[in-house]
Structures are given as C-alpha cells and as structure tokens.
Amino acid sequence: MTRELPRSDKMAKTKISSTDLIWIFHQKLQAFDDFPLHGIAIAIAPTENKGWKALTPQYYRKHGPRWAARIAAIEKQLRKEYTLAR
C-alpha cells in the first residue's frame, strides 16, 4: 500500500518586476479595439501582504469604468500567476 503525500493546490508563482508586469498589462489591453492611442498609465505598487496592486489615474476610474473593469480583471488573472520581485 502506497501512501500519497499531501498535495498543495497552490502553484509556485513566477517572480516578475513591476516594469514587466506593466508591459504585460499593456499587451493584454491592446487587444481591445478601443485602446487609447497614447495608452493607459499603470503603476504597480507592492502591498503589505507581499502582493501587488495595479494603480491607474483617477481619470480612468471615473470616466472609463469599462477600462477600470478590464484592468481589474487582468490584475486578478496576473496575481494568480506572478509575485512581485523585490
């Protein structure tokens, strides 16, 4: 009889720089037909729980709720895959 080892459901996250994360955000956002010609300003900030958060200017959150929702969805997806390199 073989005994199975406990399996972790969490996969190891890839460490990535904030610059590379911003680049990935822009690549994913450019797939939309209405992507602004001059892009969208995004900053990546570390959080207290060793995670990160994507920040955008208030203008996009207030006047572009569609873009804010897209950025939030991409952030959720990328946070599962990447951790911020220190």
Q: What is the pLDDT of residues 6-19, one digit of tens each?
A: 545 567 889 999 99
Question: In the prediction, which pLDDT does 7 show?
Answer: 47
- Number of helical H runs and strand E runs in the chain: 3, 4
Global pTM reads: 0.77
With contact defined as beta carbons under 8 Å apart, do 45 and 55 qualify?
A: yes
Domain boundaries, the chain: 14-32+39-84
